[in-house]
Structure 1
Amino acid sequence: MPLHLKESEIIERAALLPAFPTVVNEILETLDDENAAMGALINLVERDPVITARVLSIANAAVMAGRTQRDLRDMQVAVSLIGLSKLREIVLAVSLAKFSRESGMGSHFWEHSIAVGVAAQELSRIGHCSRDFALVCGLLHDIGQLWMARCHPLEFQMVRMSMEQAPDLDILDAEIWHFGLDHCTIGRLLATAWHLPASVISAIQHHHDAHPPADKLIAVTHLGEAVVNALNIERHNHASVRHVSATACDVLGIDWRDDFNFLFGRIEARSRNLTRIFS
């Protein structure tokens, strides 16, 4: 029998999920102050041995690429080598990958999230908006599905079966039939409960809209998922955006008649690389 969930139930049952990584909010809060961000990020990294190991590994790879024989162990030097932007990317990706795994989602969920995060980042270059916010929006855009799978796994599988039996069925319609709410609405409620910035909440809520609000972060998230679907970067996702919003294109100044082969190549290459690094 289909569920008829209320919004209050979403928040109550969110306790079944692992604790949302506070490092995400801590990073977003420091974006406007590069000097504060450096010291704060290094402190965050050094508190987590997994992230520390990943940062040092990538920094050492950069050293080896320069043909310098050196076992790098100093975090300050490591950050100076890989850069602040790359450091934020590592911290965000590792933290959210861990959150996804602890929530019980398969690797396909994380592969798709990384691909959309990368696509949103690359599109943010065109739209001149924050790369870090774009990455977070892409990584978290389908967070409502994670709640569905953890809290109501049977209904979650029924949605998947419905999509397989009727390939033209829209994912949101299937979810509303089985849950009473779609993953965009559930994602908005979770992101609000986690005190994420309003811009990130809006991107999560509206990334499937045919006519989304005219906002750059919504646009890069919406188009990022559409591009990932078109490039067929990962083949397990049923929640792909099946249309391209004209509003989103206008907001970013994108005309698809232009040559985007270089952009698509970067998205595909970076997605596969990050998936390999953070898996």
Structure 2
Amino acid sequence: MTDTLTLNGQRLRIPVLATGATSLMKQLSDDNIPFEQLASVIEQFPSISMRLIALANSAWSGSSVEVTSVMDACTRLGFNVVRSTSIALVVSAPFDPHRCPAFQPVRYWQDSMLIAEAAFGLTPEDGMPSPLCSQTMRTLGLLHNLGLLWLADSMPQETQAALLLSSADDSLSVSEALIETCGFDYCTVAEALCNEWQLPDAMSRVLAHQNTPAYKAQHWQGTELLRISKQLIRTLGTATPESLAQIETDTLSIEFATLRAEYRRLEQLQPRINDLASSLFLN
């Protein structure tokens, strides 16, 4: 692997994941991984193990019983929290987004974790290609904005300008603003990074085409599910039955009752997820 990658004439430093991190993400995306194996895999990453044990002993977990092992931490926190937290920690480690003052790490991970929950909860039991199980969709939700994280580190000035442009103009998306200032959006960058990190092709395709509504090639179901999940998260706290009905879900045969139930679940989860992201990335 080279140290840099050139995109549209721009040279970006390629962040290096910890040894075994790609394998960790693949195993954490397995719906059928046994609980003991989950703990065993995480134990190979001391920094993640320590953060999970600390989280299990924090006020956030709401228990007074001391936790001293990864297995006990996994039991206390639960499958979904352990998976999301572990992936977020291993992915964020090689980046320094503080180089871009307009980038807000806590807000970034709050949105990513909520979209991950939505993608997980809305994954249909039938109709999705085999690589795109509910846990893989959770991972894709966490990584959907991965390119922005990389750009905040590798092209901080251009990313700063894009974030300020988008903030000043509600009609201008971050993706569109990045094209103006960098020459490409976070989807293009995410695809390149997935290839460098040798992540599965399904993940690369979904991240690359998540903002392309007309995309109907391989694994289009994942891009469609990410689109629906992002729309749903944008409505949290303000949605009405009428506004939820405007979210197009027919392509994946997601019933309105399912969408509404997921919205209510996410509303209840939002404060806890926001607190989780704050406890992990507020520094």
Letter in structure 1 aligned against 2:112: V
Change (3 A) 1:22 1:200: farther
Asked if residue 157 in structure 1 is aligned to residue 156 in structure 2, the reply is no
Kept in 2: contact 1:96–1:139 (CA 8 A): no
Change (3 A) 1:110 1:230: same
The equivalent residue for 1:253 is: 254
Change (3 A) 1:60 1:215: same
Change (3 A) 1:10 1:44: farther
Asked if residue 88 in structure 1 is aligned to residue 83 in structure 2, the reply is yes
How far apart are residue 268 of structure 1 and its match?
Answer: 1.9
How far apart are residue 253 of structure 1 and its match?
Answer: 0.8
Distance 1:80 1:165 in 2: 44
The equivalent residue for 1:179 is: 182
Change (3 A) 1:145 1:166: same
The equivalent residue for 2:54 is: 57
Which deviates the most, 100-109 or 45-54?
100-109
Letter in structure 2 aligned against 1:42: A
Matches within 5 A, 1:206-217: 206-213=209-216, 215-217=220-222
Matches within 5 A, 1:214-253: 215-231=220-236, 246=248, 250-251=251-252, 253=254
The equivalent residue for 2:267 is: 265
Q: Extract unaligned runs of 5+ from structure 2.
A: 125-131, 239-245
Change (3 A) 1:82 1:48: same
The equivalent residue for 2:241 is: none
Kept in 2: contact 1:59–1:81 (CA 8 A): yes
Change (3 A) 1:33 1:131: closer
Which deviates the most, 128-137 or 105-114?
105-114
Superposition TM-score, scaled by structure 1 size: 0.72
Change (3 A) 1:103 1:215: farther
Asked if residue 194 in structure 1 is aligned to residue 197 in structure 2, the reply is yes
The equivalent residue for 1:116 is: 112
Distance 1:94 1:258 in 2: 29
Offset from partner CA, 1:83-119 (integer Å, 9 cap, x none): 4444323311222343444674566244334423333
How far apart are residue 262 of structure 1 and its match?
Answer: 1.4
The equivalent residue for 1:4 is: none
Distance 1:142 1:73 in 2: 33
Letter in structure 2 aligned against 1:251: L
Change (3 A) 1:232 1:169: farther
Distance 2:247 2:18 in 1: 32
Instruction: Give the number of equivalent residue pairs.
Output: 256
Distance 1:43 1:258 in 2: 35
How far apart are residue 47 of structure 1 and its match?
Answer: 3.8
Q: Extract unaligned runs of 5+ from structure 1.
A: 1-6, 234-243
Kept in 2: contact 1:188–1:205 (CA 8 A): yes
How far apart are residue 52 of structure 1 and its match?
Answer: 2.0
Kept in 1: contact 2:213–2:224 (CA 8 A): no
Distance 1:42 1:34 in 2: 10
| Structure 2 SS opposite 1:9 | strand
Kept in 1: contact 2:97–2:105 (CA 8 A): no
Letter in structure 1 aligned against 2:155: H
Q: Compare the two structures and name the one with the higher helix fraction.
A: 1
Letter in structure 2 aligned against 1:52: S
Matches within 5 A, 1:117-132: 117-128=113-124, 130-132=133-135
Letter in structure 1 aligned against 2:225: V
Letter in structure 2 aligned against 1:169: L
The equivalent residue for 2:36 is: 38
How far apart are residue 73 of structure 1 and its match?
Answer: 1.7
Distance 1:105 1:154 in 2: 7
Distance 2:57 2:158 in 1: 45
| Structure 2 SS opposite 1:231 | coil
Change (3 A) 1:178 1:223: same
Asked if residue 277 in structure 1 is aligned to residue 279 in structure 2, the reply is yes
Distance 2:172 2:250 in 1: 25
Letter in structure 1 aligned against 2:36: M
Change (3 A) 1:249 1:17: farther
Q: Which has the higher contact order (CA 8 A, sep 6+)?
A: 1
